[in-house]
A and B are shown apart, each in its own frame.
Chain A
Amino acid sequence: MSKNSSSSEVVTIRFSGDSGDGMQLTGGQFSDNTAIFGNDLNTLPDFPAEIRAPQGTLYGVSSFQMQFGSRNIYTAGDDLDVLVAMNPAALKVHVDDLKEHGLLIINTDNFTPKNLKLAKYEENPLDDSALDKKYRVIKVGMTSLVTEALKDLELTAKEKARSTNMFALGLLYWLYERDMQTTINFLNKKFKNKPLIIDGNVKALKTGFYYGETIEVVKTTYRVDRAKYESGEYRNIMGNQGIALGLLAASHCNDIGLFFGGYPITPASDILHMLSNYKSFGVKTFQAEDEIAGITSAIGAAFSGRLGVTASSGPGIALKGEAIGLAIITELPLVIINIQRGGPSTGLPTKTEQSDLFQAMYGRNGECPCVVVSATSPSDCFEMAYEASRIAVEHMIPVLLLSDGYIANGSEPWKYPDVKELPKFKFNYAVENSEDFNPYERNPETLARKWAIPGFKGLEHRIGGLEKADKTGNVSYDPDNHHLMTQKRQEKVDIIANFIPDATVLGKTSGKLLVIGWGGTFGSIKSAVVKAQEEGLSVSHLHLKYINPFPKNLGEIILNYDKILIPELNMGQLLTVIRAKYLVDAQGYNSIKGKPFSSNEIFEVIKKHLED
């Protein structure tokens, strides 16, 4: 192994194969096992938008990457230490990401003339010594070994071949000295009513494991030591899971019903799936006829005293725009979640991007300011979903929570909270039968209006999308009133800065360069900045979770650095907002390739900015 990868502190591996090869499941199993083993980790699933892309093609390749190790891990890793390639197309697409002398594990059974042709190989790369020169290659006929091992089971040839992914997993478990039990438990649960399938998969898993043990080809085993964590209770969590749990906790711990209205869309649908399993907590999920009905039903629910939530991705949020305006003028508590993906239009449904910040900030008719917060990692999703809910009900305002495809499907260990210790929301309920009730009278500190819910006696009132008269909420076309209400809606957003935490800097609080990021780029920026700091460079990192309004101290912090760098997976959206707001000559670094930054890439940019 090269010097670079011989350090067993951190390892990056990638499973890749055809979309039908079960790579996501294999990767998910390996990451759960890794987390329980006690490594820190970060994952990056990547799959085609087509559910069943034609077999064997380059665009049908699905992969699951993961970085794990004994120190803190912030990204899914850049260059690979291990690549598992289940077919020629996977090899073609991914092999260049493998480090020199990295471990390349290949299922040779799939290197048929047909597959080679589909992968656009003129010659079989396995026949060529180039691979062996550059990498440490393990060629295994996985499918035939599995088929042989399962010959006594009454399964079809297809069913036998399908457990080949378990062979690959077993081999990796052996390589990293893991216990197979978590996966055996998983298989027992998943195929509860299909004992033969369980048998087949477990056998395939063990065959892979023992293959590693027996065959001489694999000479070294690796052991990555456990990471040092703060003490506490941990689990592995995916971003969308974190959001669903955060919403559930917000509802349950604050005794407010949760209503979720949504329409299926990649990569947000999992939130709907997960919440629909929490009916025992009274959670109501409504799969609406379209995106607009998703949000408007949630608005109806908010009017009726529930925490109204909708979730979508960019195209769906575009459809919801008018309704977001309605929620803003009716001043109802609503959480709108955008799991960003590549745009414009249908764009790249399964790839990540940060290009909906402008949409969140400005994408509506009229002067229509919306609170915008953002999650930085899978485990942060819980906290930010809880926060978004808190702000929505305490301030009687819609809150847009931004996540992205990388965070949504990625996973990492999460030190989960004791639910009894979660902060309690302060509600603004109106008092029944109050003589002088006015729907648009405001709390002097938050400017929130009172929540008078249908069923409350003596508070019957009407709200709607027409401009409201101050206090009474009656329809008003008065010019001065419109100006006043426009200001109030803005002020109501701005004032939230008094109720959110200050921004914090990772590193020195002044210096030559401050790197500002938001959302899913957290890991790559942080790794790059830490590396630069270790090399003695004067650079710090600030990752924004609150974007509208910004934390109160942001302007001051910015003044303490000579230069500001804002890397984003868009054309410079936060950059524009920050330049406009603070009149600072911040510089952007932008990439729109549907994938996260690599930390090396950011590191190089940091160096360049410090040299100039």
Chain B
Amino acid sequence: MTETIQLTKKDFSSDQDVRWCPGCGDYVILAQVQKTFPNLGISKENIVVVSGIGCSSRFPYYMNTYGFHSIHGRAPAVASGVKLSNPDLSVWVITGDGDAMSIGGNHFIHVLRRNIDMNILLFNNRIYGLTKGQYSPTSEVGKITKSTPMGSLDHPFNPPALAFGASGTFIARTIDKELKHMGNIVAESAKHIGTSFVEIYQNCNIFNDGAFSNLTDREVKSDNVIALEEGLPMLFGKEKDKGLILDGPNFKVVNIGSDYSIDDLIVHNPKDRNLGLLISEMTYDENLPVPIGIFYKEDKPTYDSMMIDQINKAKEKDIDLQSIIKGSNSWNVK
């Protein structure tokens, strides 16, 4: 599948006008994906981008690959059919918090459980954009929106934790403003064999502007975000003076200095299941920074490869169609 001609970002841009609101976080994600794809070593005709419904789900129209803008919540199921039909394809699902966590929650958990080899990019803006501003399943409790004038009552999903609970084999998070980080994570997710899940915090500047400003504003972000890197200690803060240790079964923030040194910090190992679970659960803990990076990854046989194995095994027996049609109890009438 390697192309002899090096493709560029332009090769992956379709001729359609991009119609998101000016300033929407989706633009940079699109640009970053278009930049990353030429380096995957996969030719255009072997890439399929599938989406559901929502602002983010317009994404396939702007990619010059095969694309399918399906119905609300169902992209993982459509993509499963695509991948299982032709395992040689590189299959991408573009979805949003309403699409994947609410109406499509069932498909989301089941595709992860099956570990079908595809990549899911979830643009989480914590709001319904396309239907003009209702709270979403990832909105914070008490969110005041058109449908919740006195504040929302339900507790939000934390998508990586849900993915972890559904036996996801690649769980990561990035932020629309962190272009380089996003590019790397998208590329890593493409390399993973199995279902990879990437949550992308995305700013909806129309209906939920600033939802992630504490994670993106230059002055505060370093103190609020921890970027996890395999093999490196869990260090963060503007001055790189803070880190995470384990206090019993929980993370605790410590200051590097008199009491703790870098050597006391936990070293990130995305293959460690226990650590993966703790990291996935960090998001809503006010005492902890919000993690980005690859939380967890695991090598596990994929559904698609096992399906092919079964078919190949079945093919060892040479059965012809006519004998199946004939069955075991036929008779002849003269």
Contacts and interface: CB of A to CB of B under 8 A. Distances in A.
B86 A462 contact: no
B86 A455 contact: yes
Contact of B77 (A35, A297, A304, A416): A297
Contact of A299 (B63, B78, B311, B330): B78
A30 interface: no
A460 B66 contact: yes
B89 A293 contact: no
A315 interface: no
Interface stretch (A91-99, A227-235, A480-488): A227-235
A460 B64 contact: yes
B14 interface: yes
A300 B45 contact: no
Contacts of B69: 462-466
A460 B45 contact: yes
A196 interface: no
A259 B329 contact: no
Interface in A91-134: none
B80 A297 contact: yes
Nearest to B62: A462
A286 B80 CA distance: 9
Given A293-B74, A306-B85, A454 B327 contact: no
B5 interface: no
A301 B321 contact: no
Given A296-B74, A297-B81, A279 B46 contact: no
B237 to A, nearest CB: 43
A300 B85 contact: yes
B246 interface: no
Contacts, number: 198
Contact of B45 (A233, A419, A455, A465): A455
Given A234-B330, A296-B70, A326-B70, A456 B89 contact: no
A459 interface: yes
Contacts of B184: none
Interface string A277-314: 01111101010111011001111111111101000000
A326 B81 CA distance: 15
A301 B82 contact: yes
A475 interface: yes
Interface in B309-334: 310-311, 313-315, 317-319, 321-322, 324-327, 329-334
Interface stretch (A42-50, A244-252, A544-552, A603-611): A244-252
Interface string B25-48: 000000000000000000111111
Nearest to B311: A279
A293 B110 contact: yes
Nearest to B322: A419
B65 interface: yes
Contacts of B296: none
Contacts of B60: 462, 464
Nearest to A253: B321
Interface in B280-334: 307, 310-311, 313-315, 317-319, 321-322, 324-327, 329-334
Nearest to B316: A280
B80 A231 contact: no
Contacts of B322: 418-419
Contacts of A286: 80-81, 84
Given A284-B84, A289-B106, A460-B44, A304 B89 contact: yes
Contacts of A531: none
B58 to A, nearest CB: 9
B236 interface: no
B329 A300 contact: no
B71 interface: yes
Contacts of B127: none
Nearest to B45: A457
Contacts of A233: 326, 330-333
A249 B323 CA distance: 12
A37 B274 CA distance: 66
A234 B332 contact: yes
Contacts of A36: 329, 331
Contacts of B313: 279
A235 B330 contact: yes
A302 B48 CA distance: 13
Contact of A292 (B74, B89, B314, B318): B74
A347 interface: no
Interface in A175-234: 182, 229-234
B4 interface: no
Contacts of A182: 329
Contact of B85 (A284, A419, A456): A284
A261 interface: yes
Given A284-B85, A417-B325, 16 more contacts: A233-B333, A252-B321, A257-B85, A279-B313, A280-B311, A290-B106, A296-B71, A296-B77, A303-B81, A308-B81, A323-B74, A416-B326, A416-B330, A419-B325, A465-B70, A474-B16
7 contacts: A245-B324, A279-B310, A280-B311, A300-B77, A301-B82, A455-B45, A475-B16
Interface of B: 14, 16, 43-48, 50-51, 53, 60-61, 63-71, 74, 77-86, 88-89, 106-107, 110, 307, 310-311, 313-315, 317-319, 321-322, 324-327, 329-334
Closest 4 CB pairs of A and B: A300-B81, A464-B69, A297-B81, A462-B67
